[in-house]
Amino acid sequence: MKIAEYTIDLERAAKIINKKRYRRVALQFPEGLKNYLPSFVAFLQKHTDASIIIAADPCFGACDFAHQELQNVGVDFVIQLGHEPIPSLQKSAIPSLFLTAQATVDVLPVVQKALPLLQGKKIGIVATTQHVHYISAVEQLLKDHSFEPMSGRGDKRIAVNGQILGCNFSAATSILKNVDSFLFIGSGTFHPLGLVLAVKKPVIAVDPYTKEVKTKELEEFKDMVLRQRYGAIARSKDAQVFGILVGLKKGQQRIELADKLQQMLTENHKQSYLIALDTFSPTHVQSFTTIDCFVSTACPRIAIDEYLQYKTPIITPIELEIVLGIKTWDDYSFDQILSE
Ligand code: SF4
């Protein structure tokens, strides 16, 4: 099915629903696809006999499986739209299907624009999920211009060559030694920021929607975020009571890391609490007024994206090690959730 600027294989979903005779199907999708909801539901109602129910809790990534409790209302199949699955995660209790929303916007014009800015000959290519299907065409374009492009195989959290997540840049780090610089394809600033901090090599970011090529802006954004992170670390230096946030979303659970951090804090004579939550937001944690600093082991975006909205500093596990003097600012790196 083609809808606006995406191709989504709802035909495949309909075939599976009919073959397995699923009766009640939950649709889970990220905010960006919510506007197209009526078309998705209409399509499935036309092509299947299943009753469709919207799983409306926010869904930020493939780490976020639909609630098992949906079984209690008769859901026997879940379709998560907009994400590739995370292969290393165990399957959800309810049979499910991940359907990506492949962007139809042609990425080649903006890549062409970026060619003069690429640094070196050997270029690593990475993309967000919506654009990974364009990587082979981009590689060909670069070869035609005498570059040596390559894309990396990520770890077991990554489904497709060259794909990066906001929490996982292993498709880039796996080829780090073999490339001079990286070309990032996607929109927004968080993914290229994480990439810059993970690879510490030049990154040119191209946005297929706005047709922008970002280099200087990316560096400026990186500097601003690093200043914020430095500030968060400085504000946490005198903290005595820490709240270690443990995400309950299936692909964000890092309880072993949380235990390790708690032990580290105890050894440094600091008090700490493990705090489990499904969805974090500044309003969810602001009532913990006795906590001086939160350490998030859940999605790495939590500490970075909404930093200014938290009254209490919120830091990543690596930043905690800097606070405690176990690591130095020179060791700073971006928090990632990697498969074991
Ligand atoms: S943990 Fe965060 S960055 Fe990673 S897939 Fe989930 S929402 Fe995306």
CB 204 within 8 A of CB 214: yes
Residue whose CA lies nearest to ligand 1 atom number 3:
166
pLDDT given at position 9: 96
Is the pLDDT higher at 175 or at 286?
175
| CA 115–ligand 1 middle distance (angstroms) | 30
Q: What is the pLDDT of residues 7-62, one digit of tens each?
A: 999 999 999 999 999 999 999 989 889 899 999 999 999 999 999 999 998 888 99
Q: What is the mean pLDDT of the chain?
A: 94
Provide the CATH topology of domain 2-103: Rossmann fold (3.40.50)
3-class secondary-structure state, position 226: helix
Residues of the chain with CATH 3.40.50.11840: 2-103
Atom of ligand 1 nearest to the CA of 166: 3
Q: What is the pLDDT of residues 241-277, one digit of tens each?
A: 999 999 999 999 999 999 999 999 999 999 999 999 9
pLDDT given at position 160: 96
Residue whose CA lies nearest to ligand 1 atom number 4:
167
Residues of the chain with CATH 3.40.50.11860: 229-331
| CA 332–ligand 1 middle distance (angstroms) | 20
Q: How far apart are CA 96 and CA 104, in angstroms?
A: 25
pLDDT given at position 236: 97
Q: How far apart are CA 23 and CA 50, in angstroms?
A: 5
92: pLDDT strictly greater than 90: no
| CA 333–ligand 1 middle distance (angstroms) | 17
Atom of ligand 1 nearest to the CA of 300: 2
Superfamily of chain region 229-331: Diphthamide synthesis DPH1/DPH2 domain 3 (3.40.50.11860)
Angle of CA points 134, 136, 139, to nearest 5°: 110
CATH code matching the domain that covers 108-214, chosen among 3.30.70.1450, 3.40.190.290, 3.40.50.11850, 1.10.10.10: 3.40.50.11850
130: pLDDT strictly greater than 80: yes
Atom of ligand 1 nearest to the CA of 62: 5
| CA 79–ligand 1 middle distance (angstroms) | 18
340: pLDDT strictly greater than 80: no
Atom of ligand 1 nearest to the CA of 298: 1
CB 138 within 8 A of CB 166: no
Counting residues of the chain whose pLDDT is more than 70, the rounded percentage is 100
Instruction: Give mean pLDDT, residues 54-74.
Output: 90
Q: What is the pLDDT of residues 284-295, one digit of tens each?
A: 888 899 999 999
Atom of ligand 1 nearest to the CA of 252: 1
Ligand 1 residue neighbourhood (C-beta within 6 Å): 60-63, 165-167, 251-252, 299, 301, 337
| CA 232–ligand 1 middle distance (angstroms) | 22
pTM of the model: 0.94
Spell out the SS3 assignment of 121-150.
CEEEEEECHHHHHHHHHHHHHHHHCCCEEE
pLDDT given at position 233: 97
Q: What is the pLDDT of residues 132-173, one digit of tens each?
A: 999 999 999 999 999 999 999 999 999 999 999 999 999 999
| CA 47–ligand 1 middle distance (angstroms) | 32
